Structure 1
Amino acid sequence: MHRSRDFMLTLALLWFAGVALRATILALPPVLPAVSSELGLSAADIGVLAGLPSLLFAVASLPAATLIPRIGPVPTLVLGLLVNAIGAAARGFAQGTVALEAATALMCLGVAVMQPVLPALVRAWAPRRIGFATAVYTNGLLVGEVIPIVWIPGSELPLVGGGWRAALAVWALPVLATALGFVLSGRHLALPSTPPRGRLNWRDGRVWRAGLLLGGVNASYFGLNGFLPGWFSATGWPELVQPALIALNIAQLPASFLMLVLADRLVRRPMAYGIGSAVYVAGVVGLIVVPGPLAVAAAAVAGFANAALLTLALAVPSVLADGEEVPRLSAAMFSIGYGFAVGMALLAGRLWDASGMAVLAVLPFALTSALTGLLGLTLRPHVFTRRF
């Protein structure tokens, strides 16, 4: 009974930590027009705000992972949550563009500290249920992406003037509550720190395979979100931009709930990556060849498949690496993965600009998902049993 209670507490903490990975970041897009109007943001300023999360995740993940063996996974996660919350709250008080960008960078740094910790906690707290526990915090992550879009608070924090300021600052509260939950539960879920042992072996091909596998998932998600508006506008269906974006993102939730049931069985099966990739590619092809409203359904197919692939990809470090090596492999995956996603987005934009063909801004993300599938197929069972 005691073990069951502790396991449920573990899952609850992992889920709320997953929400904290994205809720503060995704709080900005719905209120961006109001922020831009008040602070006079330029297109370049908006680009900086949009690019900061991926940039910080790529640059800061590896340095952040060095904290884990020194102070322990739980203290590192709590530190990341606190930095995330402080940055999120500070955005509500920003009086200019530089202050807003600095607060956003601080918030994203907190998330970058958090990300490598969660696979380590999954490995330590649920070694026999790695797929399921990963699916739990991935579900929280996806819920954290959707909630700020469908619920925009406006008056919960009158101290910062309501409106967009409250809508941004209020998300610091659940992040702080999650940090408090980990602190209060620490004595029951203690995970001692371990001394660092050597450095990450960048010549190990599994590091690059795992990183590019996650990179394919990230590029496919962020790229399609970024270029869908341009695609529908260029093909004469601007009124479908909002429905397509909603379909792409909402469709992730049923996939995430399905993975709660299937992840334990699929995470060690290479074919699962191939099937998920094939479904995503089919969705992108549908976007390109099927006109009008049916393309919205194709966007939903792509979103559904990408959410399943994300769950599988995030489980790889916990399955592939041993103990203290999990955070380092996770950090390497995030660094490679987000760097790859940024590079692919820039490439897709350049291809569109150079050719004038909108299809070249969408098609590359079918290829990035195909890369995920191909790399997943190389994760044969013996790869999971060899020491990292």
Structure 2
Amino acid sequence: MEQTTPAGLAVAERAPAGTTDRRAGVLVLVGILLVALNLRPAITSVGALLGEVQTGLSMSGTVAGLLTTLPALCFGAFSALTPRLSRRFGAHRVLLAAMAALVVGLAVRPLAPSTPVFILVSVLGLAGIAAGNVTLPVLVRTHFPRRIGLVTGLYTMVLNLGTALASAVAVPAAHATGGWRGGLAVWAAVAVLGFVPWLGALRADPTRTAGAGATVATRIRPARTRLGWALAVYMGTQSLQAYVVFGWLARIFADAGWSAGAAGLLVSLVTAIGMPIALLLPGLASRGRDQRPYVVGLIACYVVGYVGLLVAPHAGAILWAVLIGIGGGAFPLALLMVGLRSRTPAGTSAMSGFVQSVGYLIAALGPFAVGFLHDATRGWTVPVVFLLVVLVPQLVGGLIAGRNRYIEDEAAR
């Protein structure tokens, strides 16, 4: 049986049924959304204030470059550990600990007296974000098994909202609080909001004790399946595209003749387009058993957008930004398929950890590769062609992962 919250979301019913379960379902949903809100500000706020941070800590350009790549490296490293922790302690406890790590990291980071301390506490916060990235699809699969598309769309949209807010507010917050330290500290207060609901949601955790689910999870090895690798490649290549777009697209537009302010607005348009896509696409794609048409459609938007950058980077900039923003819908689609391609929360946990671990390591290569190609060729033609080439494995991985199949079945074979 299932119950329905006032928002129309199905909540798995657990004995004893009644008002308590409904309240627990609403609490979990609120907790998921507040966690999603906090999964990117810790990263984008540093990017917006990187110059001030670099000056304040006497940070070298090389170390500053490492700092911009640190999120992807931490996501790749810590994502693989999260499923093991979830099997032992339960997904809710892991998420509570992850948010605690994020709060501590964000609170201590502005107080860092040196670059090593700043990086160390940044790693702590990023480890919490990595665990949150992996755990949210598991909680959606556990508590909203019949509304995976809707809830995935909601939390992905809120995640994008947090990204946009941090980019827009970081500099004004720094000015209002007297410098970059105050501008970074405000996000610790926001992170506390994501911590509080899980104190009350622990009782709603059906995975809090080791049992059959944990035993099954130990037999699921996505790395030994075609589906696991296909989805990991799809996740990694779409994340690579996103890292490059947000890291380099403004520079591409600026070199095409747009002012720095206008180029930044064009990149903001990419983010703005991505928000309704993130909300609507998972719900639409989850209605059918085959997500391959959506994979192809999003790839097509990327192709036209990138070819446009090669042919008319100035004249058609708004259209290319819109198409690239639509193509970025590959991110919520990848998160959706993590849930749809598994039968159980244990399968979702194994898949989420593997896919995001491998995926973010792939993504970390993108900004470096594009920067190297630009320096080597003194232009943007080869880097954009590189992005077009990366769409090939993204398409192949998406077509394999988009078919109606399950990780548990492939793992059993």
Same topology, TM > 0.5: yes
| Aligned residue number for residue 49 of structure 1 | 67
Aligned with 2:234 (options 213, 218, 235): 213
Instruction: Compare 12-21 and 338-347 and name the one that shifted more.
Output: 338-347
- Within 5 Å, give how 1:48-87 maps onto structure 2: 48-87=66-105
Contact 2:241 2:366 in 1 (8 A): no
1:183 corresponds to which letter in structure 2?
L
In the aligned structure 1, how far is the partner of 2:127 from the partner of 2:316? 39
C-alpha contact 2:40 2:159 (8 A) present in aligned 1: yes
Cα deviation for residue 178 of structure 1 reads 1.4
CA displacement 1:310-332 (0-9 Å, x = unmatched): 11101222121233122121111
How far residue 191 of structure 1 moved from its aligned partner, in angstroms, is 3.8
Indicate yes or no: 2:148 matched with 1:130. yes
Q: 1:332 to 1:26 in 2, by over 3 A?
A: same
Alignment of 1:216-231 (within 5 A): 216-231=237-252
CA contact (8 A) 2:303 2:388 kept: yes
- Is the deviation greater in 253-262 or in 269-278? 253-262
What is the match of residue 269 of structure 2? 247
**3-state DSSP class of the match of 2:81?**
helix
In 2, Cα distance between the equivalents of 1:73 and 1:245? 35
CA contact (8 A) 1:278 1:373 kept: no
Supply the AA of the counterpart residue of 1:326: T
Select between 3-12 and 286-295 the one with higher mean Cα deviation.
Answer: 3-12
What is the CA–CA distance in structure 2 between the aligned matches of 1:26 and 1:357, rounded to whole Å?
26
* 3-state SS of 2:38 partner: helix
Q: Of residues 353, 358, 363 in structure 1, which corresponds to 2:385?
A: 363
Structure 1 residue runs of 5 or longer lacking an equivalent are none
RMSD over equivalenced CA pairs, Å:
2.5
User: Where in structure 2 are the equivalents of 1:288-367 lying within 5 Å?
Assistant: 288-292=310-314, 294-306=316-328, 308-321=329-342, 322-367=344-389
- Contact kept? 1:14, 1:136, Cα under 8 Å: no
Q: Matches of 1:363 and 1:286 in 2, distance apart?
A: 11
Q: Distance in 1 between matches of 2:201 and 2:28?
A: 9
Q: Retained in 2: the 8 A contact 1:154–1:163? A: no
Letter of the 2:304 partner, please give it.
A
Report the Cα offset of residue 348 of structure 1.
Answer: 2.8
1:1-388 map, 5 Å = 2=19, 6-152=24-170, 162-188=178-204, 190-194=206-210, 195-196=214-215, 197-198=218-219, 200-239=221-260, 240-259=262-281, 261-265=283-287, 268-292=290-314, 294-306=316-328, 308-321=329-342, 322-379=344-401, 381-384=403-406, 387=409, 388=411
Instruction: Answer whether contact 2:174 2:181 (CA < 8 A) is retained.
Output: no
Aligned residues: 385
Distance in 2 (CA, whole Å) between partners of 1:226 and 1:156 is 21
Secondary structure at 2:313 match in 1: coil
Q: CA deviation at 1:263?
A: 4.2
2:243 and 2:366 in contact (8 A); partners too: no
Q: Single out whichever of 374-383 and 28-37 deviates more from structure 2.
A: 374-383
Kindly provide the amino acid, as one letter, of the partner of residue 193 in structure 2: A
Q: Which stretch of the first structure deviates more once superposed, 295-304 or 62-71?
A: 295-304
How far did 1:201 drift?
4.6
Distance 1:243 1:267 in 2: 37
In the alignment, residue 233 of structure 2 is paired with which amino acid?
L
| 8 Å contact kept, 2:153–2:280 | no
Whole-Å Cα distance in 2 between the matches of residues 176 and 113 of structure 1? 16
Q: How much has 1:303 moved relative to structure 2?
A: 1.7
Change (3 A) 1:16 1:36: same
Question: Could you tell me how far 1:214 is from its partner in structure 2?
Answer: 0.4
SS at match of 1:378: helix
Output the amino acid matched with 2:187: W
Instruction: Answer with 163-172 or 345-354: which moved more.
Output: 345-354
Matches of 1:366 and 1:383 in 2, distance apart? Answer: 28
Deviation at 1:190, TM superposition (A): 4.7
C-alpha displacement of 1:286: 1.7
Q: Is the 8 A contact 1:131 1:264 kept in 2?
A: yes
Alpha-carbon distance between aligned partners in 1 of 2:288 and 2:396, rounded to the nearest angstrom:
16
Structure 2 CA distance for aligned equivalents of residues 234 and 155 of structure 1: 29
Question: How far does residue 215 in structure 1 lie from its aligned partner after superposition?
Answer: 0.8
What CA distance in whole angstroms lies between the structure 2 residues aligned with 1:365 and 1:291? Answer: 15
Name structure 2 gaps, 5 residues minimum. 6-18
Higher mean displacement: 96-105 or 232-241: 232-241
Distance in 2 of aligned mates of 1:190 and 1:173 = 29
Local SS of the residue matching 1:21: coil
| More displaced stretch, 4-13 vs 214-223 | 4-13
Quote the residue 2:10 is aligned against.
Answer: none
CA deviations 1:28-81 (Å, max 9, x no partner) are 122222222322222112111101100011112112321000000000011111
Counterparts of 2:391 and 2:94, CA distance in 1: 32
In 1, Cα distance between the equivalents of 2:331 and 2:257? 31
The one-letter amino acid of 1:235's match is A
Q: Residues of 1 paired with 2:325 and 2:295: CA distance?
A: 15
